[in-house]
Structure 1
Amino acid sequence: MLRAAGKTLLDTPAQALGLDPVTTKLFATCNTISSLRYEGAEGVGKLLLARRGHPNIEEIFALTCPTELTDYRAVRKLLEMTTPDVHLLADGESVYALGRQVGHYDAVREDLFVIDFVTHYSWELQHANHVLLRSHYGLPGLPRTRLSRTGFRRALKRTFGLTDPPKVERLWEVVLEASRQKHGTLLVITTEALAEADRLKLQCTLIEPVPLTPLITRLVTSIDGAVLLDPEGYCYSIGVILDGRASGRGDSTRGARYNSALRYVESSDYPCLAVVVSEDGLVDVITSEKLANGKEMKE
């Protein structure tokens, strides 16, 4: 049902460009392109969908022979030339040039769309700076909110009763730095971090307790496994392989990092909060308090 909804939504830009959605198949095309690598590298960059000559599109250079979007590997290769401000230009059927968006786009027109290839097998459909759809490994969904400062502060207060501004700010800086980790990471904040580090010592790397700073956070989140810290911001172990009882709350559409955090938090006998950073930069805050109350787990 989700895939059918995603396909239908991607019919919108096709129709706006005067194309037959049945033959264009933009949803399947974007999924395939995002799944391909070029010389081992994942595809990252943007593709602007608009008719050629659109007033808000500036061509930098054109292709003599436009590349059909269904020539997936060729399009993936062209994507390698894009930069944060130079994108592929496509009319819905073919990539015809590299260029950029210019001027003020009137959203009422609904004739200029952006396909943002975020990371491997993950892309977004955008219109007028609004994300309309995010697809991850072929499964579409509504865009999730990125890390929220207010939501994180609320989670700390609910879980640990923590309201001291300096401590909250210190933890926020740690989480903010972790959210920039390119390959994703996992932070676990628990009142029993020291005891848990000792219990899990055979499946982690113990370190001398150290207050996390943005620099130290950048270092310890660069390896696989969770980072274990307490509400004071002190880290006790890194590269932690979490345990926990399996339950019916798992999400088969999410990765191992998210589900292991979910199991650990649900199984914990102590106040606990997990911050799951996905490879695409989105962040889930999972708390034992939310699980206990059966509430939505995403901030």
Structure 2
Amino acid sequence: MTSGNPLMLPMNDRVRQSFVRRCVSDILNGLSDGLTHFSGASRAAVIFALRPDSPMLLCDPQNLLKGHEPICKSLYLDNQSWRTNEKVRFDRKHYAEIIPIKDPGLAGLLSHGGYSGSVFFQQWFTEQHPDLCATGPTECWLEHAVWRFSHDLANDAELYTGISGYFLKEYATHAVRDHIIDLMNVQLGWDTSMRIYPILDAVLMISETQEEGSWAEGRLLFVDPGMLDQLHFLVKFQEELRPQLINYKHVRKLLLTVERSGRSLVSDGRAILGICDDTLPSFSICADFRGRYGFLKVNRGKVCSFADGRFSSTTYQAKLVQLEELLLESELKRFDCYFIFKIVVSLVQHAQRRKHGCAVVIDLNERPVRISGQTLSPPLDLRKPYTLKLTKSLAKVDGAIHIGADMHLHGFACLLDGRAFEGEDLARGARYNSALRFTAEHPKIIVVVVSSDRPVSVIHQGMDIQGACAWTQQGGCMYHLDRLDYWVGL
């Protein structure tokens, strides 16, 4: 970015200019930090104009919008219609009256924006990760950033507390709650007695409570009292003996009655009412416990996941986007890339469902390298369904399975060796670090590592591609504001 450009803000006071920079920087830092914990490494950027006649400004410290210059030029410079909005009362007293702006639909990005009395125009952006349960919580996060920026600039610099960034950093539970409220208001209206925060607290506490050394499994269904007649109860508890939701240990014990079944415990948000079958009412919230992690759903649709006492966006299903890109960049034919990718995805998802770790070596050499282990002669054709099924069982054995570019299984229980190097991660296990060492010495080999308690890792040339980050987090910085016309090269 051209950080040395003059801003020509419609304010003469340099203190005011510095105040705007500080507000933007604090919000971007909090937004990026919070979303990184919720969804993985996340960047954030903003485009805004303080007044109707102000130049459009940009703050993009991690180059999130790089490559989108043409569409930004078309939307905000060539077209000036955004400067006219008769509904906006440009007065700092009306900072809370946010008039939403349509998402411009930039590829790979989520955004939210609005007009207000203190910031005439603002649009906040972050990246859309490929494994989101739902985009709703992230969009609520961005919506709150719009409100915080409008609120902060409605005050004078002397009154600024800097709390917006800290609040956005810890916004995960609030974002989940806000998204559920939005869905609930559409279907139930405002007249409901269900309180979402106690439900979210209960879900996290139950997920962290073990029963005889085992984590919770089974479904806990939350239903508005007015919809209980839509359920098919198998068991109803006596009203005076109903376990209270706040008694997490008791609820955890009761989950044993619906474990690995089509049944659900039913709660009205205060107590456990009984056990029902798989029939759902017109609106419900479901906590689907699956051991070390689980999913929060609204009407069977995933909202987010939860594990280790916090909510996140991950689906716990390997998308393996980076693997697909590596295969397409290789010398293989596209048809072969497609089949190898489908084979690996099938193996990885089977290992995840069965909750066991494994490592898959994808050997792109013309002649597969020799790896110590159970070498197969002749190799097995993985395009045949029964062979692929057998390979899923072989993947349970300690060691890696060895797949060649010919889509054949060349070995299993393979031991990956290599010399130690600086890129190792001592916080990870032997399977992961062995893959780092092996791929560092074999450039045409990709290793996919599945851990029972971690996301899937795609390792190539001694580096975790999934964990690689192309930008450096600059927390605690005061960022530069650029004029959009200079940024696009006008």
TM-score surpassing 0.5?
A: yes
Aligned to 2:359: 186
RMSD: 4.1
Aligned to 2:232: 58
Unaligned runs of 5+ residues in structure 1 are: 106-110
2:374 to 194, 203, 206: 206
* Residue 115, structure 1, aligned to residue 287, structure 2: yes
CA shift digits 1:56-94 (9 cap, x unpaired) = 533221122222233223222211221442111112222
Contact kept? 1:160, 1:271, Cα under 8 Å: no
* Residue 7, structure 1, aligned to residue 173, structure 2: yes
Contact kept? 1:265, 1:287, Cα under 8 Å: no
2:250 to 57, 60, 74: 74
* Residue 134, structure 1, aligned to residue 305, structure 2: yes
* Residue 226, structure 1, aligned to residue 400, structure 2: yes
Matched to 2:171, the amino acid is: A
Aligned to 1:156: 327
Residue 31 of structure 1 aligns to a residue whose secondary structure is helix
Unaligned runs of 5+ residues in structure 2 are: 1-33, 39-169, 185-191, 471-490
Residue 295 of structure 2 aligns to a residue whose secondary structure is strand
- Distance in 2, matches of 1:94 and 1:251, equals 45
Residue 334 of structure 2 aligns to a residue whose secondary structure is coil
Change in 2 beyond 3 A, CA 1:256/1:247: same
Contact kept? 1:47, 1:90, Cα under 8 Å: yes
* Residue 236, structure 1, aligned to residue 411, structure 2: yes
* TM-score of the pair, normalised by structure 2: 0.47
Contact kept? 2:436, 2:460, Cα under 8 Å: no
| Count of aligned pairs between the two proteins | 277
Residue 161 of structure 1 aligns to a residue whose secondary structure is coil
Matched to 1:113, the amino acid is: I
- Distance in 1, matches of 2:340 and 2:196, equals 50
More strand by share: 1
Aligned to 2:267: 90
CA shift digits 1:193-236 (9 cap, x unpaired) = 95462xxx4xxx43335325223222222234433332223233
* Residue 270, structure 1, aligned to residue 447, structure 2: no
* Residue 18, structure 1, aligned to residue 193, structure 2: yes
Matched to 2:193, the amino acid is: G
- Distance in 2, matches of 1:73 and 1:8, equals 25
* TM-score of the pair, normalised by structure 1: 0.71
Matches within 5 A, 1:18-57: 18=193, 24=198, 26-54=199-227, 56-57=230-231
Contact kept? 1:227, 1:238, Cα under 8 Å: yes
Matched to 1:117, the amino acid is: F
Aligned to 1:108: none
